Amino acid sequence: MKFLKKLSSLLLAALMLAACLPVQALADDVPYQTYNYDYWEEIVQIPAPYVPDGAISGVSLNCGTFASPQDICVAPNGDLYIADTGHNRIVVVDGTGRKVERIIDSFENEGETDTFNAPTGVCVSENERLYVADRENQRIVVLELDGTLDHIVRDPQSDVLPAGFVFKPLKISVDYADRIYCIAQNMFQGILVFETDGQFSGFFGTINVQLTLWEKFWKKVATKEERQNQTLYIATEFTGMDIDESGFVYATNIDENGLQGVRRLNPRGEDVIKKGRNENVGGDLWINGSGAYAGPSQITDVVYRGEGIFSLLDRKRGRVFTYDHEGNLLYIFGGLGTQEGTFTTPVAIEQWNGELLVLDATRAEIYRFSPTEYGSLINQAVALRYDGDEALAVPLWERVLELDENNELACSGIGKAYLSAGDNKAAMKYLKLGMNRDYYSVAFKRYRSEILRAHLGQALTVLGVVIVAAVAVTKLRDRFKAKGRGKKEKGGVSG
Amino acid sequence: MRAAFGKEKWRYLLYTMTHPVDGFYWIRHQDRGSVPLAVLLVICFSLCFSINRISANFIVNDVEPASVDSLQELSGVLLLYVLLCVGNWSITCLMNGSGRMKDIAIAIGYGCAPMIPALLIATVFSQFITVEEGAFYYLIIGLGVAYAVIVMLLGIRQVHDYTMGKTLVTLFLTFVAILFILFVSLLLIDLIGQVYNFFRSIYTELVFRM
């Protein structure tokens, strides 16, 4: 009996000790999938690149629950602007995320107090002005950061706009020259661009309708009456925007084929995005199946995160896809659900002090995600590569390989460093692991000429000796045969 | 059996590769070919095909090596071989072709032969090239395929004593016949499955009641 008591107390102590041990952050600890696609477009599990790190809500800020917030924006000074659409106000949160700086729900307009009506988009420009897409008032309100009115943009006038067009701005972005890029409701012709003075100057980045051969065929065959009854082929609308430091606009749209969910538009409005080796910047690659959960990703927003890295937000499966400037997937995380760190209706994504913020409209909360060692290593290494300091990235990539030994980007990065250091054989090994055809070829070419240069002399000597020997042997044999034949002939004559 | 793989059969295979018209003529009229050898060639072709898909260098190989199942590919190739032979035979029977089943099997089987060295050489060659030189890899395979197609066409033409135009027409009809055979056999398999399920459910019904 005594022994049993002792044993149980011992067990209890051991249990308590185990509970005190520090917990390691494993991929299983996050409430969502963390994965990537490899060269063969197979899903590979990766360590969590980002982990949930709390939430910002109206309750946590003591300003009353948000009502269906639709957009967030990070100002250059680090403040966070939240478009609290249902309450017709803009909430400004300070850099810590714990305190409300101010709430903008009205402003002075020509001597009268004016208010918002369903502000769905918010943007702070580099020149420190606040732009609000005031949807139901059909205008864009431009305010100073303290809330005084600068000017209002409304009623775009142009021949290219359809007659009776009602301007309902949804999302806005502003570039360094204070040009306004605006996504408007039911506007399929592209992004509306307003010049600095508020004049509408035209459309930008129109998505062309892609007809399949089959649809073209039926269009040809159909009669005029039939065509009128068919559904129109309409280009998809844009869903979200961001602008990088050189003024290129990243604009997302919902692609039915799941191939391209984001465009990178140059100042002429042409798409210049690189699609990586999968030829795909549309989110998930495995989209077959049936049911509500299958189908292509529906990209709703994009955030440009510097050094060519950008993240896409998918509302279909609640995932965040991060790409480098070449369009290669870096990592994928996130999911739908009800736990903290998962989403119900994700609508906007932003980067804030190195964290990622995702706004959920239904739950009216902003979820914060902070990078793990794995995530920040990849971010840093990709940034170094973007800046051309590939050699500096090697120790980072090596650490990435310790955490995730099948990481193709890391292998490729190390291989390239070996290549520029002149170690062609090691470069070949890593570039092959990284499935990098072009650079492997370069490494192999150099290795091959190295080998040839070292051994060509020997090879030619051996070849020369062999040829000489062969000639000699044939000659000798011919002579021998000729002799033999001569003997035979002689014998024949004598016989 | 020894005769089927005998030395003269191999030698005659080489002769047929270099002189397809004459070669297939004597195969038809003097039984100089060998069906087991033809089947062996088809099997070899299938193996080389798998080897190429698995081992060709990754800079020219778009196939994931782990996804290649050589036995599955072998059964697929053999099935296609049987279908081609049966389909061609059933069409040429109706179109005055003088070839026997045996001759068709030999013509198609021998036709695969040029692909075997082409695939092997290309696989080895791919280990020593860069992306820019990949064109040579595809050239080797392309030559192999072209050679195989020519030998196969001439073989089928020769054993049936057709003109080239008629050969092409019968080949097209052969593919139609293959589709037809596949359709009927799928139908048959489905019906057999239903009958089997019927008896099986009777059996389970009985087992549950006893």
**Residue of B58, B128, B131 lying closest to A435 (CB–CB):** B58
Please determine, for residue A364, whether its predicted confidence score (pLDDT) is greater than 80.
yes
B64/A42 touch (CB, cutoff 8 Å), yes or no: yes
As given in the structure block, the two tokens for residue A394 are: 């090697």
Lowest model confidence (mean pLDDT) among A129-143, A203-217, A326-340, A434-448: A203-217
- Test mutation, A429, A436, A440, chain B, max B CBs within 10 A: A440
Chain B residues within 8 A (CB-CB) of chain A? Answer: 58-59, 64, 67, 128, 130-132
Are the Cβ atoms of A441 and B131 closer than 8 angstroms? Answer: yes
Compute how many other C-beta atoms are within 10 angstroms of the C-beta atom of residue A373.
13
Tens-place pLDDT, residues B52-100: 999 999 999 888 888 899 999 999 999 999 999 999 999 999 998 888 9
Q: State residue A24's pLDDT score.
A: 46
| CB contacts, 8 Å: B58 with chain A | 432, 435, 437, 440
> How near does any CA of chain A get to the CA of B72, in Å?
20
Give ipTM to 2 decimals.
Answer: 0.79
Which candidate from A40, A42, A440 shows the least CB-CB separation from B59? Answer: A440
Residue A5: band (very low, low, confident or very high) from pLDDT cuts 50, 70, 90? low
Is any Cβ of chain B less than 8 angstroms from the Cβ of A447? no
Taking CB atoms and an 8 Å cutoff, what residues of chain A touch B59? 437, 440-441
Whether residue A488 is predicted with pLDDT greater than 50 in this model: the reply is yes
At residue A324, the pLDDT reads 92
Q: Is A40 on the interface with B (CB under 8 A)?
A: yes
Which chain B residue's Cα is nearest to A38? B64
Give the model confidence (pLDDT) of A95-144 as tens digits.
888 889 899 989 988 888 999 999 999 999 988 999 999 999 999 999 99
Taking a C-beta distance cutoff of 8 angstroms, is the pair A358, A69 a contact? no
- What distances in angstroms separate CA A130 from CA A30, A117, A172, A177, A403, one per listed residue? 36, 16, 11, 14, 42
Measured between CA atoms, the residue of chain B closest to residue A444 is: B130
Question: Which among B58, B63, B127, B133 is the top mutation candidate for probing chain A, defined by the most A β-carbons within 10 Å of its own β-carbon?
Answer: B58
The count of CB pairs under 8 A between chains A and B is 19
* pLDDT mean over B16-30: 92
Please check whether residue B100 is in contact with residue B88, taking contact to mean a CB–CB distance below 8 angstroms. no
CA distance A2 to chain B (A): 57
pLDDT tens digit string along B130-163? 988 999 999 999 999 999 999 999 999 999 999 9
User: How far is the alpha carbon of B131 from chain A, nearest alpha carbon, in Å?
Assistant: 6
Q: Which chain A residue has the Cα nearest residue B59?
A: A437
Query: pLDDT at residue A4 above 70?
Result: no
Closest Cβ opposite residue A438 in set B64, B128, B131:
B131
Q: Residues with Cβ < 8 Å from A72, sequence gap 6 or more? A: A80, A81, A82, A83, A122, A348, A350, A357, A359, A366
Q: How far A179 CA sits from the closest chain B CA (Å)? A: 45
- Give residue limits of the domains in chain A: 31-211+228-371
CA distance, residue B64 to nearest chain A CA (Å)? 6
Q: Is the pLDDT of residue A22 over 50?
A: no
- Kind and range of the H or E element at A227? helix A224-229
pLDDT at A395: 92
Domain A31-211+228-371, classified CATH 3.40.50.2000, yes or no: no
- Per-residue burial over B89-113, b if 16 or more Cβ lie within 10 Å, else e, is bbbbeeeebebbebbbbbbbbbbbb
Across the interface, whether the CB atoms of B132 and A432 are under 8 A apart is answered no
Which residue shows structure tokens 């803009």?
Answer: A90
A475-487 pLDDT per residue, tens: 999 888 887 776 6
Contacts of B130 in chain A (CB under 8 A): 441-442, 444-445
Q: Do B130 and A442 touch (CB under 8 A)?
A: yes
- Write out the two tokens for B51: 């080897």
